[in-house]
Amino acid sequence: MRQVLIVSHADADGHVIAEQVRRNLTAIPSFNVSTVVDPERTKDHTTWTKLDMIPEIESKDIVFFVDLMFAPASFSGEADALVEFVLARPETAFFVLDHHPLPLRRLNRAQNLHTVYRPDVFDCTFGFSTHLMVIAALLEKPQATRIGSLVQPDDAALAKGLKRAAAPGASPDGVLAGDKLLALLRHDCWAELEALGRDDPKYHYIPRGRRPTGAPTSSLVKRLVALATELLDSATKPRRRSHRTQPGRTPMSYDFGTAVDQSPPTPHIETADRRDLEAIVTLLELAAICLTTGPDSSFTKQQLLDEARRIGGDDIDLDENDVNIVLGKAGFLRKIGGRLRMK
């Protein structure tokens, strides 16, 4: 058996993507798959500099990092930390998959590290995408995606329930993020999670994705915590739960076992090109500098993109979707109304 580990971001779509990857990888008979999604250890891009906090990696033959972005303002140190970690473990194969641009040139220094950038969240998995990835893409709105015709009427409520379930920061009796939420996903508790999306919003004030200290916990969340705990305790006797519906409702139409698209996009693996995070950030910064002619200078996103393309020349064809992703997290720009300005 090959010991396989999936490490994913602890936000809502990170849980969903980890579950889709887990389901796909467990179809390989020789893979013994485990998952780490942790509100503390995999909460954001700083995970790359703290990989020693994930000792589960050490005993694995293959490690998949999914939905863990590199920050446009600090990707250099993060990429270097990952490469150093990977090079120190030459017998382990590592894969990085994300829907944010990756610092490809820097990461490709390690021969046992394999990178895949898929800008549509729907495609952000290894293997095929089921309706799970439609939910993942909804959770990452407004990032561009092609899921429009695949969205079903109850998807919005399910996505809201997952976002509420993944929010950290509540009292112990209200924490679902991490192993508990993964257990609910693994056992197909879709009706319960959809109900959470329809729960009274007074219990789900989540500023900046976290529940404030002392926030009230709804009875539904407490029941889900108890259910998840029961499922984890009975993990040695796995069984597939049947969908349960609420009185007066028709059965849920989710099918998370059938591929929506049997042909995932071809992995885009380059040493440095228009989809390299480092190249995108550098070009955008150069463009912003060129457009800044005084202390009050500002410019539109289109002006910035046009200037970056002018500087990059014909060999760099910037993808507007990639630029939109990076602009939302660029450390050298700030928004003033509908315009941009150098910090």
Q: Do the beta carbons of residue 178 and residue 37 sit within 8 Å?
A: yes
* pLDDT at position 242: 43
Q: What is the pLDDT of residues 38-69, one digit of tens each?
A: 999 999 999 999 999 999 999 999 999 999 99
User: What integer is the mean pLDDT of 230-257?
Assistant: 58
Per domain, the residue ranges of the chain are: 1-147, 153-253, 277-342
pLDDT digit string, tens, across residues 141-184:
888 899 999 999 999 999 999 999 999 876 666 789 999 999 99
**pLDDT, tens digit (0-9, with 9 covering 90-100), for 267-281:** 544 545 557 887 788
Q: Where are the alpha helices (DSSP H) in 167-234?
A: 179-186, 190-197, 219-233
- What class has domain 1-147? alpha beta
Q: What is the pTM of this model?
A: 0.80
Lowest mean pLDDT among 62-76, 176-190, 250-264, 270-284: 250-264
C-beta of residue 343 within 8 angstroms of C-beta of residue 288? no
Q: 169: which residues sit within 8 A by CB, 6+ positions away?
A: 210, 211, 212, 213, 215
Q: Mean pLDDT across the chain, nearest whole number?
A: 86
Q: Taking residues 300-326, what's their average pLDDT?
A: 82
pLDDT of residue 236: 61
Q: Does residue 3 register a pLDDT over 90? A: yes
Flag whether pLDDT at 18 surpasses 50.
Answer: yes
